[in-house]
């Protein structure tokens, strides 16, 4: 009969399989999007030994105030790539993603979920991370979210461990605006300790953390969070950005999930359906803090799909506690582990590996041309970061919160959708080039104007148009 150690071996291999899925997704795709301006911002700050507070990358809002709430991640990214070469990109994406699933396995272990059950829950949670785990500051926040839950769980028996939340929250504050979630977790922990909920169906785990200690830790963490380049104002700024309707109207990731996509049904609705079934028909009392957090993250995910990774990291914890231990009497880790290991290797090597740091879908040829020809460029939003990396001033880029202080986002969307005559805007900014995707409305419009626009570079992914003549003429 398989032993407990036997089952743990197979559980560990399932966690390895989950990590291989993250590495495969990262190694089979190149760099794109915001990583370029974040990398360039980090390199700028390292080179000048200063934190950026004003824009140096655009010509539309040049030298306007810029709240660099993710400055810590940007400097870390630049330092990693400088120290490790392009492999640094993988370390901050797939490497941190691997740390996240390992931490999730540890959290499940602390909550009483061991062996094969532990590995299976980690494996089921991983698909929701794949699209989001890449070179972006949010990736760090997923690992910090699970680590915060570990600290809170362990502190219930060892109160002094709660002090570990202080440096964690300070670091989180300096890498991503989601640090608000970390303080929410700490605040809720104090609430459950003071106002536990215990009924026949729900229970609150006992804690040895006293109210005075919790309040002291919270106040110290709060005051220490003010030690960032933007001071206490970062709290108000992060809150404003988190609940900005203007950003959610533009960025798909900030919008509600599209359930026409089957993957959204599997990742969001199916786990919730399973949890509801166990809540209704199971005989194990639900831990109230886990249930409350899962419900809140489910609601947040329904409002904005960018909360999906946090939901995907929480529901396995609740399910693991609610479901009775699985015996797996016939499962042998010593037999299954080699197959799982082989499958992990196959997943990573199934498709060609894209070298670390290689561009994916970026307008390389157009950027090569623009580096040697002066003039303002009207660029697509998602290419702005790459142009910044190539030291080409942009009209707009992925710093959506920064551009909210001016009319540029509205102007960009009006031109993109051709709801206004672009000539007026292009005259104002003296636009010499338009870098756009083929097959779009604006590209089709410009192709129909050969007397005013000529095609300089044309590839499968991008067309670079040059304006003929002078606007003031």
- Do 99 and 143 form a contact (C-beta atoms < 8 A)? yes
Residue 161 tokens, joined: 């461990």
Query: Residue 269 has what pLDDT?
Result: 95
Query: Residue 410 has what pLDDT?
Result: 92
Instruction: Show Cβ contacts of residue 364 under 8 Å, excluding neighbours closer than 6 positions.
Output: none
Integer Cα distance of 310 and 58 in angstroms: 33
The strand order across the sheet containing 376-379 reads 376-379, 431-436, 463-467, 453-458
Report which secondary-structure segment, H or E, holds 379: strand 376-379
Query: Residue 335 has what pLDDT?
Result: 65
Query: Residue 331 has what pLDDT?
Result: 55
Residue found by looking up tokens 């080179």 in the block: 47
Neighbours of 87 (CB within 10 A): 15
| Phi, psi dihedral angles at 158 (to 5 degrees) | -125, 85
Instruction: Show Cβ contacts of residue 324 under 8 Å, excluding neighbours closer than 6 positions.
Output: 284
The residues with which 202 forms a beta bridge, in sequence order, are: 286
Report which secondary-structure segment, H or E, holds 436: strand 431-436
Query: Residue 253 has what pLDDT?
Result: 87
Residues in the chain where the model's pLDDT stays below 70: 1-6, 324-335, 472-473
Nearest Cα to 36, choosing from 390, 371, 342?
390
The residues with which 465 forms a beta bridge, in sequence order, are: 434, 455
Outline where 176-307 has alpha helix (H): 179-194, 211-225, 233-242, 245-250, 262-264, 270-281, 288-303
Instruction: Show Cβ contacts of residue 332 under 8 Å, excluding neighbours closer than 6 positions.
Output: 2, 6, 10
Query: Residue 1 has what pLDDT?
Result: 44
Q: Is 174 left (phi over 0), alpha (psi -120 to 50) or beta?
A: alpha
Residue found by looking up tokens 């407990």 in the block: 4
- Whether pTM > 0.85 for this model: the answer is yes
Integer Cα distance of 150 and 147 in angstroms: 5
């Amino acid at each position: 009969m398989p032993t407990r150690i036997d089952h743990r071996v197979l559980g560990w291999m399932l966690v390895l399989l989950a990590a291989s899925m993250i590495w495969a997704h990262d190694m089979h795709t190149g760099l794109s999007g915001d990583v370029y301006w974040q990398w360039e911002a980090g390199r700028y700050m390292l080179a000048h030994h200063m934190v950026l507070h004003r824009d140096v990358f655009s010509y539309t809002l040049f030298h306007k105030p810029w709240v660099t709430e993710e400055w810590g991640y940007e400097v870390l990214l630049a330092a990693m790539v400088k120290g490790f070469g392009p492999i640094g990109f993988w370390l901050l994406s797939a490497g941190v993603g691997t740390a996240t699933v390992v931490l999730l396995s540890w959290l499940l272990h602390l909550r009483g979920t061991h062996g094969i059950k532990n590995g299976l829950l980690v494996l089921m949670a991983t698909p929701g991370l794949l699209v989001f785990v890449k070179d972006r500051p949010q990736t760090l926040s997923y690992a910090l979210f699970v680590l915060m839950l570990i600290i809170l769980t362990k502190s219930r028996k060892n109160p002094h461990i709660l002090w570990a939340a202080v440096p964690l929250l300070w670091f989180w504050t300096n890498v991503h605006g989601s640090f608000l979630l970390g303080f929410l977790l700490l605040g809720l922990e104090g609430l459950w300790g003071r106002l536990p909920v215990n009924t026949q169906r729900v229970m609150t785990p006992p804690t040895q953390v006293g109210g005075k200690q919790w309040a002291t830790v919270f106040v110290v963490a709060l005051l220490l969070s003010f030690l960032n380049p933007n001071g206490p104002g970062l709290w108000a700024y992060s809150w404003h950005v988190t609940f900005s309707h203007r950003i959610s109207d533009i960025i798909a990731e900030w919008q509600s999930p599209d359930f026409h996509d089957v993957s959204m049904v599997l990742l969001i609705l199916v786990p919730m359906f399973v949890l509801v079934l166990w809540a209704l028909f199971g005989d194990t009392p639900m831990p109230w803090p886990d249930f409350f957090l899962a419900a809140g993250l489910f609601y947040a995910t329904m409002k904005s799909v960018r909360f999906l990774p946090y939901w995907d990291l929480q529901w396995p914890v609740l399910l693991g506690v609610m479901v009775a231990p699985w015996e797996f009497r016939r499962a042998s880790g010593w037999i299954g582990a080699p197959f799982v290991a082989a499958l992990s290797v196959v997943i990573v090597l199934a498709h060609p590996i894209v070298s670390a740091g290689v561009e994916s879908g970026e307008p390389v040829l157009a950027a090569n041309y623009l580096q040697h020809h002066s003039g303002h460029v009207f660029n697509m939003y998602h290419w702005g970061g790459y142009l910044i990396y190539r030291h080409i001033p942009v009209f707009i880029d992925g710093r959506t919160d920064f551009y909210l202080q001016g009319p540029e986002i509205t102007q960009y969307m009006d031109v993109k959708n051709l709801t206004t005559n672009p000539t007026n805007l292009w005259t104002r900014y003296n636009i010499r080039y338009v870098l756009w995707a083929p097959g779009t409305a604006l590209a089709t419009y410009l192709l129909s104007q050969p007397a005013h626009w000529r095609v300089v570079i044309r590839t499968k992914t991008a067309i670079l148009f040059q304006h003929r003549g002078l606007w003031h003429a």
